[in-house]
Amino acid sequence: GAGSSTGGGVRFELEKETELRFEVEAGERVQLELLSGLAEVFGSELNRNKKYTFGPGSKIAVFTWQGCTVSLTGKTEVAYVSRDTPMLLYLNTHAALEQMRQQAERDNERGPRVMVVGPTDVGKSTVCRLLLSYAVRLGRRPTLVELDVGQSGVSVPGTVSALCIERPADVEEGFSVQAPLVYHFGSTTPGTNIKLYNKLTSCLAEVFSQRCEVNRRASVGGCIINTCGWVKGSGYQALVHCASAFEVDVVLVLDQERLYNELKRDLPHFVRVVLLPKSGGVVERSKACRRDTRDEKIREYFYGFRGASFYPHAFDVRFSDVRIYKIGAPSIPDSCLPLGMSQDDTQLKLVPVTPGRDLTHHVLSVSCAEDEGTGPEGGAGRRGILESPVCGFIVVTSVDTQAQVMTVLSPAPRPLPRHTLLIMDIRFIDLK
Ligand code: ADP
């Protein structure tokens, strides 16, 4: 399906149930326009004669159920039409979930809770986006639960979160993130602290269930849970934990038969485990590419996304005005643990951090935890911090140990809304 070049760009005629896949070259932008017919990008419909712009490195599929003509302007790395897509299977999956919602409505039950799993780069996030957009287009109010701490679609990396979906994803920008519920994890792989990861999964499940009790639409809408690509060992155990914490009804396994068989064996029999193929369009991303995406996500948090520019603030914070913690003490051999203490306790321990030069460039989460009771011997307060959502993020841009102050980049002007800060392994170098 090579396109023909016209004045503005390259035209592509797509037959029904085919998709145009393209990748934007580094440092370039590509404009997409629907000239005739109907088409969608990952479940969101395109408007005719509107120009959609995609930034460097974007990997996009324009799918049509009925047939269409589109044009592309700008430098693409690749652009080709494929007839071989699993979209029909994904649509059938959506239809089955919608039936479950209808049944939930009739029987005064709750709607489907769906976990999407598979190794990295099989299109998990894309399938989540598709299912959520299709559901919301039918008037449902599903919840996206984002457990991928490496590539979060909702907040900055190193977090887990939940977001009520009220409209389809924007073609260019994805889901609008008005008021997500975000928890601090602190690193880009669950393996850094699997106890904490599982605990946060349980926290999100609890909050979601509470919401379902008071909000019928949320309950019927159910949730779509996006997970990490780490599917072995503790990563696998984390998936099993998630399934039980959320009491999931459906597990969609992308591309890996072994994982599918393991989950069928280990999950209760009433959980429907479904194996789905991955799309041939999903592109494998290099480590560097993932790092760039993470960086970009943090930059967006502070500086906004194209259309909406934000102007972050820089100001000094006195060490004495904040309490900085790292979650999890380095693990020590069981034989060396103090009597009555388990490895769990060390992984969930709040370790006070003395600010120093090495804090520079680290991302810090500002915890919503109330400031009182967070002293070094805060007891109950300490538990509260782990389970408290975060209200925002700052980046340390410099540290002056002499003056006992650090300069931070913050989305809002001083003062900080709260004074309990949690340090991430993740660094962001602000080049602006
Ligand atoms: P995962 O969540 O499993 O890591 P993603 O859903 O993030 O995978 O997909 C990886 C990349 O592939 C993303 O950049 C996404 O935009 C792209 N992609 C997904 N499906 C297609 C497709 N059918 N054609 C082209 N690119 C796609």
Distance 373 CA to ligand 1 centre (A): 44
Q: Which residues neighbour 360 within 8 Å (Cβ) at sequence distance 6 or greater?
A: 396, 397, 398, 399
* Cβ atoms 318, 416 nearer than 8 A: no
With a 6 Å cutoff on the Cβ, whether 120 touches ligand 1 is yes
Report the length, in residues, of the chain: 432
With a 6 Å cutoff on the Cβ, whether 117 touches ligand 1 is no
Q: What contacts 24+ positions apart, CB below 8 Å, involve 345-352?
A: 347/193, 347/194, 347/195, 347/196, 348/195, 348/196, 348/199, 348/386, 350/325, 350/326, 350/382, 350/385, 350/386, 351/325, 351/326, 351/327, 352/323, 352/324, 352/325, 352/376
- Per-residue pLDDT averaged across 332-337, rounded? 70
Q: Tell whether the model's pLDDT for residue 348 goes beyond 70.
A: yes
With a 6 Å cutoff on the Cβ, whether 43 touches ligand 1 is no
With a 6 Å cutoff on the Cβ, whether 281 touches ligand 1 is yes
Task: Please report the pLDDT score of residue 76 as a whole number.
Answer: 94
Name the closest-CA residue to atom 16, ligand 1: 59
324, β-bridge pairs: 421
* Cβ atoms 65, 97 nearer than 8 A: no
Number of Cβ within 10 Å of residue 56's Cβ equals 16
List, for residues 9-52, the tens digit of each pLDDT value.
899 999 999 999 999 998 899 999 999 999 999 999 999 989 99
Residue 46 corresponds to which tokens in the numbers above? 């395109």
Mutate to test the pocket of ligand 1, among 59, 154, 284, 296 (most ligand atoms within 8 A of CB): 59
With a 6 Å cutoff on the Cβ, whether 420 touches ligand 1 is no
Q: Tell whether the model's pLDDT for residue 364 goes beyond 50.
A: yes
Confidence of residue 176 (pLDDT cuts 50, 70, 90): confident
Say how far apart CA 218 and CA 221 lie, in whole Å. 5
Q: How far does Cα 298 stand from its chain's mean position? A: 13
Q: Helix count (H) and strand count (E) of the chain?
A: 9, 26
The interface predicted TM-score (ipTM) is 0.98
With a 6 Å cutoff on the Cβ, whether 370 touches ligand 1 is no
Say how far apart CA 68 and CA 81 lie, in whole Å. 12
Task: Assess whether the previous peptide bond of 352 is cis (omega < 30° from 0).
Answer: no
Task: Please report the pLDDT score of residue 314 as a whole number.
Answer: 96
What is the Rg, in whole angstroms, of the alpha carbon atoms belonging to the chain?
Answer: 23
Q: Tell whether the model's pLDDT for residue 380 goes beyond 50.
A: no
Residue bearing tokens 């039409």: 81
Task: Please report the pLDDT score of residue 370 as a whole number.
Answer: 82
How would you class 431 by CB atoms within 10 Å of its CB: exposed for 0-12, middle for 13-18, buried for 19 or more?
exposed
Q: Tell whether the model's pLDDT for residue 257 goes beyond 60.
A: yes
Mutate to test the pocket of ligand 1, among 283, 287, 289 (most ligand atoms within 8 A of CB): 283
DSSP tag of 2:
P
List, for residues 111-164, the tens digit of each pLDDT value.
999 999 999 999 999 999 999 999 999 999 999 999 999 999 999 999 999 999
What pTM does this model have? 0.93
4, β-bridge pairs: 11
Say how far apart CA 379 and CA 243 lie, in whole Å. 31
Confidence of residue 1 (pLDDT cuts 50, 70, 90): very low
With a 6 Å cutoff on the Cβ, whether 324 touches ligand 1 is no
Confidence of residue 375 (pLDDT cuts 50, 70, 90): very low
Say how far apart CA 135 and CA 240 lie, in whole Å. 25
Number of Cβ within 10 Å of residue 357's Cβ equals 11
Say how far apart CA 322 and CA 313 lie, in whole Å. 18
With a 6 Å cutoff on the Cβ, whether 282 touches ligand 1 is yes
Number of Cβ within 10 Å of residue 422's Cβ equals 27
With a 6 Å cutoff on the Cβ, whether 76 touches ligand 1 is no
Say how far apart CA 3 and CA 5 lie, in whole Å. 7
With a 6 Å cutoff on the Cβ, whether 290 touches ligand 1 is no
Q: Which residues neighbour 300 within 8 Å (Cβ) at sequence distance 6 or greater?
A: none
Q: Tell whether the model's pLDDT for residue 376 goes beyond 70.
A: no
Distance 176 CA to ligand 1 centre (A): 19
Residue with the bigger pLDDT between 6 and 299: it is: 299
Residue 71 corresponds to which tokens in the numbers above? 């044009």
Distance 404 CA to ligand 1 centre (A): 45
Q: What is the 3-state secondary structure (H, E, C) of 34-80?
A: EEEECCEECCEECCECCEEEECCCCEEEEEECCCEEEEEECCEEEEE
With a 6 Å cutoff on the Cβ, whether 110 touches ligand 1 is no
Task: Please report the pLDDT score of residue 372 as a whole number.
Answer: 59
Buried b (16+ CB within 10 A) or exposed e, 214-246: eeeebbbbbbbbbbbbbbeeebbebbebbbebb
List, for residues 180-222, the tens digit of each pLDDT value.
999 999 999 999 999 999 999 999 999 999 999 999 999 999 9
Say how far apart CA 195 and CA 349 lie, in whole Å. 11
* Cβ atoms 110, 143 nearer than 8 A: no
List, for residues 300-334, the tens digit of each pLDDT value.
999 987 667 889 999 999 999 999 999 998 766 77
Distance 401 CA to ligand 1 centre (A): 44
Backbone CA torsion sign across 43, 47, 49, 51: negative
3-class secondary-structure state, position 4 = strand
Q: Which atom of ligand 1 is nearest to the CA of 118?
A: 3
With a 6 Å cutoff on the Cβ, whether 123 touches ligand 1 is yes
Name the closest-CA residue to atom 5, ligand 1: 123
What's the mean per-residue pLDDT of the chain? 92
Confidence of residue 6 (pLDDT cuts 50, 70, 90): low
Q: What is the 3-state secondary structure (H, E, C) of 214-259?
A: HCHHHHHHCEEEECCCCCCHHHHHHHHHHHHHCCCCEEEEECCHHH
Task: Please report the pLDDT score of residue 102 as a whole number.
Answer: 98
Name the closest-CA residue to atom 23, ligand 1: 281
Confidence of residue 374 (pLDDT cuts 50, 70, 90): very low
Mutate to test the pocket of ligand 1, among 282, 284, 287, 292 (most ligand atoms within 8 A of CB): 282
Q: Tell whether the model's pLDDT for residue 232 goes beyond 70.
A: yes
